[in-house]
Structure formats: C-alpha cells, structure tokens
Homo-oligomer: A and B are copies of this chain.
C-alpha cells in the first residue's frame, strides 16, 4: 500500500528526471496539480513537500515552485564503512570485537531502529585501528533480524560492511549522521589511550537498507587528531538557489 501523495511525488519526480520540467522552470500550481491528480490540495502539498526535502524543487510564498535539479542525492556508500574508506586511502586498517551481547532495545534505540521497545538487539563494542594504532571506538546496536549474521563474523573482521554483503547480500544505504565532540569516558580513555575527559569526535549514525529499513545504530568515537570529516559543497550544484534567495524547506 503506497500512499497517494507518495505516488504523486514519484510521478512528479520522474517528470523532472525526464526533463519534462526543466531545471529553473516552474512546476504547475498546487491547485492545478490537485485537479490533474484528482486529489485535494493538502495531498498535493504532501507530495511536493517530499520533492522539497529531496532538494528537487524550491518554493517561495506567492510564487510557483521552481525546479532546482534533476537528481536525488546518491552515492555516499564509502561513508558507511570505516574499512573501505581506509583502504581507498591506502591505510592499513584493523578491527577487533571487545564485547558482544544480545539484549533488549531501549526506547530510544527501538525508535531509531524502527523496533518495538524490548525487542532483541545485538550490542557490539569494536575497537578500530589505523596503521596499527587504535583510533576509533565503535558502539553499535544491530537490529535483531541481522544479529545472527553479525555473530557469525570473525572477531577481528576488518570490514563488517563487506562481510555482511558477502555473507547475506546486505547492502548498506541511506543513513543519518550526527557529529559532535564529547569528553572521553573511562572506557573510552582506557581503550583509545587518551586522557580521561579529553576531546573525542563522536559520530552517531543510523544505517539502513536501500529500502529504508534500519540495520544499525552506532556511536563511534574518534581520537582527536586522528580523523577529520570533510564536506565539499559543490558551488556549481545550484546557482539558482542563490538567485532565488532564501529557500526554506517546508515542514
């Protein structure tokens, strides 16, 4: 059962991708689309909100929506795997499972993994190293349905992503990441060999299947100075965005 607004979003997205609505061109008005698809304006607004969240169209009160681009973001696969990134940079990478046990999901974990609170999850503590030095502590919670495959992995498996792909055909896709700084706790400081209370870069992330089913929720802590995250905003992506001015994503 696919919601009507999602179907409409899909049709409009396809039309944009096909070039039916060129970049920079206007989308039909909400009222017009409501008539065309024989739905209420509210449903149309849900549909175009999806496109807005995908960065395909922009809007300003009083003016028609403008097509900003033709492609949804993709790629990004290497971000999900510490090992694959390291290999691609020519670094020697290692990993070791320090602790692994099944337990019930907390309320917050359940919500992040789209599970019911109390459902079984697999909590894993992994120490990752680069060039032989420990640089990252990975506290991961896997959804119960993938737990058996994770438990079958070697304790010193270098790339979990690749191993799961080979063993059960799992592909990691879309995710969500939060980056901030935290003080090293006692376990952090012992395992990463840093001063207690010292700075760590924390990356919290959700990994899902390409269909959007959550696979893991992880809290990764990097020793300060070992790794930095970089973002390049391509200037060329959308000169139009700046022409139009302040575009605010619709809720």
Q: Which residues of A contact B (CB under 8 A)?
A: 5, 23-25, 46, 49-50, 53-55, 58, 60, 66-69, 71, 73, 75-77, 79, 82, 85, 88-89, 91, 106-108, 110-112, 114, 130, 171, 173-184, 195, 197-202, 208, 210, 212, 222, 224-245, 247-249, 251
Pair A24/B239 contact, Cβ less than 8 Å: no
Flag if A114 contacts B53 (CB, 8 Å). Answer: no
Please list 29 pairs of residues, one from A and one from B, whose beta carbons are closer than 8 Å in the complex, sorted by A's number.
A55-B176, A55-B178, A60-B111, A66-B108, A68-B112, A75-B239, A79-B242, A89-B244, A173-B242, A174-B233, A174-B234, A175-B235, A176-B234, A180-B225, A180-B228, A181-B200, A181-B202, A198-B198, A199-B199, A210-B239, A227-B243, A227-B245, A228-B243, A229-B241, A230-B242, A231-B231, A231-B238, A232-B238, A232-B241
Q: Say whether, besides A229-B240, A242-B171, A180 and B224 are in contact (CB < 8 Å).
A: yes
Is B181 a contact of A222 with CB atoms below 8 Å? yes
Across the A-B interface, give the 6 residue pairs with the lowest CB-CB distance, nearest first.
Answer: A24-B107, A199-B199, A228-B245, A181-B201, A180-B228, A58-B111
User: Contact at B73–A178, with CB atoms within 8 Å?
Assistant: yes
Q: Which among A107, A173, A182, A228 has the highest number of chain B CB atoms within 10 Å? A: A228
A235 touches B251 (CB 8 A): no
Given contacts A66-B107, A176-B231, A231-B240, 18 further A-B contacts (CB under 8 A): A5-B251, A58-B111, A58-B112, A79-B233, A171-B242, A173-B235, A175-B235, A176-B234, A177-B231, A177-B233, A181-B199, A181-B201, A197-B199, A225-B245, A227-B243, A228-B247, A231-B238, A232-B241
